[in-house]
């Protein structure tokens, strides 16, 4: 067990000793429903004595273990100290039907509500959001935890312009290095390394069909994976795409999906081209000029053209480089969330790149006119001085 996991275990044990039973209506005034899902629901409430607005997260006791409730509460309270992570407020209790804890409230909804379908979000807004999330996830990783559920619905807004966002919902967060059962789910956020689970499920379903008339059924063993920060990196890459386009790059991250298959094919070819370029550079550094001239070296930039996957055609080379960092099918080679910081400020869309290029050309033409005008004036001054 890692140090972070052990510390969280101790916090859960200690907090379980002080879990009190309260009547929600006696201490809070319910305002409205903020969100609802398989975990339970989140209500906007005001503390009656303090007058403080907060979000109350309700977990049904029938479907929630005390440990999982305390794990999410303590993780949010003790480790989510970054300004773009939703933090618990130190209030937790139980009712006859629910476990409840209070957390900071995102009063302007979540990121999902501001994404325009097939349009996305303004590019400056995208970079602003991703800058905050990069810092938040890097901080969480430094604390020893992986979020494992980054998606627009779990990113809450503290203002209407996305100038301050907070990542929340730590129900699936686990300590780095811990082992969890691999689960495949039909989503672009699902990492490609769990694709074997889908194949395993197919085989299991086939066995069940074949064994319908038999009394005993041989069960396949579950597949287990180690929780690594690269899980979050993949989700951040998909999120960038979603914000820029209002679409997803593929429906599911498996070779059954044509869009993902095209991306993977492009990615593999691009990686192969880079490896060949590096090999040629290393060899060129050793061979002398005459030997290089006698070699038939393929022009990798021209003859070995690698068209980008169709769904990525609208992006600039800058953000395509970021996608290759975050959406690397090989988890051990996937970049971290801090990679995003290196790509801020430049154009992420081709349209933006063209606009910036046009502005630069117009500025250069204006500067040229000013320089030429200055030269004419200087000439006139010289002629005037000569006449005098």
The CATH number covering residue 222 comes to 1.10.510.10
- Statement: residue 295 has pLDDT above 60: no
The answer to whether residues 334 and 199 belong to one domain is yes
Whether 261 shows a pLDDT value over 90: the answer reads yes
pLDDT at position 388, please? 47
Place of tokens 């287990």: 224
Q: Residue 149 — very low, low, confident or very high, per pLDDT cuts 50/70/90?
A: very high
Write out pLDDT tens, residues 217-254.
555 567 889 999 999 999 999 999 999 999 999 999 99
Q: Answer whether residue 213 shows pLDDT above 70.
A: no
Quote the pLDDT of residue 297.
43
Verify that 190 and 325 share a domain, yes or no: yes
Say if residue 167 is in the same domain as residue 286: yes
Mean pLDDT score, 205-227:
68
Average of pLDDT values for 366-382? 75
Residues 185, 324, single domain; the answer is yes
Q: Are residues 379 and 276 in the same domain?
A: no
Lowest-confidence range among 3-17, 75-89, 275-289? Answer: 275-289
The whole-number average pLDDT for the span 179-196 is 90
Q: What's residue 203's pLDDT?
A: 77
Mean pLDDT of 360-370: 87
For the residues 114-120, what does the mean pLDDT come to?
95
- 120 assigned to some structural domain: no
Q: Tell whether 315 and 181 lie within a shared domain.
A: yes
Model confidence at 296: pLDDT above 50? no
Instruction: Give the pLDDT mean for 15-38.
Output: 94
Considering the entire predicted model, what is its pTM? 0.85
Task: List the domain range (segments joined by +) for residue 382.
Answer: 349-388
pLDDT top residue among 78 and 377: 78
Q: For the chain, what is the domain count?
A: 3
Asked if residue 289 and residue 237 are part of one domain, the reply reads yes
300-310 confidence digits (pLDDT tens): 444 457 889 99
In this structure, are 291 and 374 located in the same domain? no
Looking at the predicted structure, is the pLDDT value of residue 183 above 90?
no
């Amino acid at each position: 067990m890692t140090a972070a996991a052990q510390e969280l275990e101790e916090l859960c044990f200690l907090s379980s000793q002080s879990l009190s039973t309260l009547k929600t209506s006696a201490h809070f005034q319910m305002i409205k429903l903020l969100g609802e899902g398989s975990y339970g629901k989140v209500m906007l409430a005001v503390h009656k004595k303090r007058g403080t607005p907060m979000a109350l997260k309700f977990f049904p006791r029938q479907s929630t273990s005390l440990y999982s409730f305390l794990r999410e509460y303590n993780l949010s309270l003790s480790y989510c100290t970054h300004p773009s992570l939703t933090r618990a407020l130190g209030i937790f209790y139980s009712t006859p039907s629910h476990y409840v804890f209070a957390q900071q409230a995102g009063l302007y909804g979540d990121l999902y509500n501001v994404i325009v379908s097939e349009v996305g979000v303004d590019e400056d807004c995208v970079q602003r959001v991703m800058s905050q999330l990069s810092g938040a996830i890097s901080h969480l990783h430094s604390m020893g935890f992986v979020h494992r559920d980054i998606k627009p619905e779990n990113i809450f807004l503290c203002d209407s312009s996305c100038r301050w966002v907070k990542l929340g919902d730590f129900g699936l967060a686990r300590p780095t290095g811990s082992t969890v059962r691999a689960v495949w789910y039909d989503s672009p956020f699902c990492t490609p390394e769990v694709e074997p689970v889908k194949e395993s499920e197919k085989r299991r379903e086939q066995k069940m069909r074949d064994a319908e008339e038999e009394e005993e059924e041989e069960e396949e063993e579950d597949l287990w994976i180690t929780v690594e920060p690269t899980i979050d990196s993949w989700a951040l890459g998909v999120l960038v795409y979603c914000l820029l386009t209002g679409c997803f790059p593929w429906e599911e991250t498996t070779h059954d999906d044509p869009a993902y298959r095209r991306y993977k094919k492009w990615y593999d070819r691009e990686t192969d081209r880079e490896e060949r370029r590096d090999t040629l550079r290393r060899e060129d550094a050793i061979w002398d000029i005459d030997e290089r001239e006698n070699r038939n070296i393929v022009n990798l930039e021209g003859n070995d053209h690698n068209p980008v996957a169709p769904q990525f055609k609208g992006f600039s080379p800058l953000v395509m480089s970021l996608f290759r960092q975050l959406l690397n099918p090989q988890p051990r080679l996937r970049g971290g969330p801090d990679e995003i910081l290196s790509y801020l400020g430049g154009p992420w869309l081709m349209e933006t790149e063209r606009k910036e290029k046009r502005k630069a050309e117009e500025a250069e033409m204006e500067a040229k006119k000013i320089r030429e005008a200055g030269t004419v004036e200087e000439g006139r001054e010289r002629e005037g001085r000569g006449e005098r």
